[in-house]
Amino acid sequence: MSVVPPETIYDEIIDFLVSAPTPEQIIAFKPPEKLQARLSALLEQNRQHGLSTEEQAELDEFLRMNRFMSRLKLRARQKIGDV
């Protein structure tokens, strides 16, 4: 069985969580530079010209996953007593 590299932020987070990260690894998690660059490009395009339906859906997914990871990081900090 071959492993397909993640292509979306959702896939990246799923792969990360399947690796059973420690609370410290959760807190330190950052998406790969390629995905961070894509998010920046979508935000800039949205400000300047607007987005296609597909691009808006992609941006919405980034934002949902960002909220999810923010909450997960908060819980991880609480677990290790860092809050």
**CB-based contact 79:23 (threshold 8 Å):** yes
**CB-based contact 9:31 (threshold 8 Å):** yes
Per-residue b or e along 47-74, where b marks 16 or more CB atoms closer than 10 Å to that residue's CB: eeeeeeeeeeebbeebeebeeebeebbe
Q: Is the pLDDT of residue 3 over 90?
A: no
Determine the pLDDT at residue 79. Answer: 94
Looking at per-residue pLDDT, the higher value among 3 and 64 belongs to: 64
Q: Where are the domains of the chain?
A: 22-79
**CB-based contact 74:26 (threshold 8 Å):** no
Per-residue pLDDT tens for 7-20? Answer: 899 999 999 999 99
Per-residue pLDDT tens for 37-75? Answer: 999 999 999 999 999 999 999 999 999 999 999 999 999
